[in-house]
Structure 1
Amino acid sequence: MSHEPMSYTSMHTWRARLGNIFPGFYWFLIHFSLVSFDKGLSNASFTDCAKHDPVVNEDIEKHFAELLTEELKLREVEGLEIQQHVDMALLEAKKLASQYQKEADKCNSSMETCEEAREKAEEALPAQMKLTTMWEIRAC
């Protein structure tokens, strides 16, 4: 396993992750990082020590992996809950659409019945007008 020097960005990211995993640890790292700038301690930095300690690295990676796994599980549960709400809303929308379709079908049927009655009345109107005229002539 080769140990390459960390860039500032990756070191900052790693320290931020440690700060999220172990609250208060971030300030601990800052303190020891500042101490490492002391001329007498330039080669005895805590971060360098922890960086090369396989047990610490393994524990941190394991804890980080556990946190990521937990986050994924929570997001999966959240996604399932959202999907369940969407499915319920879709089912309700389908029920309402079916109900509205039934009412529209009833309305269309009634309109057809009404139109048929109007056509029959329109056909009977001339005969009724003739009959009315005949009775008016007789009445005079």
Structure 2
Amino acid sequence: MAHSHLPKHGVLRLFLVLVGVCLVEYTVGPTLFLCWRLKGVSSSSSSTIQDSCTPCDCFCSSEDTVPQLSDCGRNDPDMKKEMKKDRLTVLSEEIALHDIVVRDTMEHTKGLIMDTRKSSYLYQKEAEKCNVGIKTCEEARERAEAELIEERKITTLWENRARQQGWEVDQ
């Protein structure tokens, strides 16, 4: 009996583990990247911190020229309100925003579909006109061809009669 070319169980497990790691990285990776990025911002120059934060009333001593990232926005009431929200509220707001985007996208798509249907209808009408015109032209061509055949028969008949009467063709 021939050997099977199916992969070994170890290779299949390795593949499944790699797929699992990729899925975890896909779901958790953006959050980890954001945390890493924020840590990098807190250790970089003050201009980077000022660019990444809203203006704040930070009271820094002359020794501490770089305000901490956690101090940024401490006195901002909107920031305090936003930071006090629990995870469920934030997720609910995000879902609501996604719903708004979906509704806007659906309205836009429905408008495009209606425009496409109108254009399609107009093109169908034009195609029907063209088909009627082609049918009319084809019928006229068939009639003209039948008349031409009839004329040739009559011409041949008259030429034969003329030859019988003594007519000769000039060349």
Normalised by the length of structure 2, the TM-score is 0.51
Please, which of 84, 94, 109 is the counterpart of residue 64 of structure 1? 94
Please, which of 76, 100, 124 is the counterpart of residue 154 of structure 2? 124
Residue 35 in structure 1 maps to residue 65 in structure 2: no
Separation of aligned partners in 1, 2:95 and 2:105? 15
User: 1:79 Cα deviation (Å)?
Assistant: 0.4
| Cross-structure match for 1:6 | 35
Separation of aligned partners in 2, 1:101 and 1:111? 15
| Cross-structure match for 1:21 | none
User: 1:56 Cα deviation (Å)?
Assistant: 5.6
| Structure 1 stretch displaced more, 122-131 or 102-111 | 122-131
Normalised by the length of structure 1, the TM-score is 0.60
Residue 108 in structure 1 maps to residue 138 in structure 2: yes
User: 1:31 Cα deviation (Å)?
Assistant: 2.3
User: 1:104 Cα deviation (Å)?
Assistant: 0.2
8 Å contact kept, 2:58–2:71: yes
Instruction: Provide the alpha-carbon RMSD of the alignment.
Output: 4.1
Separation of aligned partners in 2, 1:63 and 1:80? 26
| Cross-structure match for 2:108 | 78
State the aligned residue count: 117
Distance 1:89 1:46, change over 3 A: same
8 Å contact kept, 2:55–2:73: no
Offset from partner CA, 1:79-124 (integer Å, 9 cap, x none): 0110111011112111111111111011001101110110111011
Higher relative contact order (CA 8 A, sep 6+): 1
Please, which of 88, 94, 99 is the counterpart of residue 118 of structure 2? 88
Structure 1 residue runs of 5 or longer lacking an equivalent are: 13-26
Distance 1:110 1:42, change over 3 A: closer
Separation of aligned partners in 1, 2:106 and 2:84? 32
Structure 2 residue runs of 5 or longer lacking an equivalent are: 1-31, 42-50
Separation of aligned partners in 2, 1:7 and 1:36? 26
Residue 45 in structure 1 maps to residue 59 in structure 2: no
8 Å contact kept, 2:54–2:72: no
8 Å contact kept, 1:35–1:45: yes
Separation of aligned partners in 1, 2:69 and 2:160? 122
**What letter matches 2:154 in structure 1?**
A
8 Å contact kept, 1:36–1:46: no
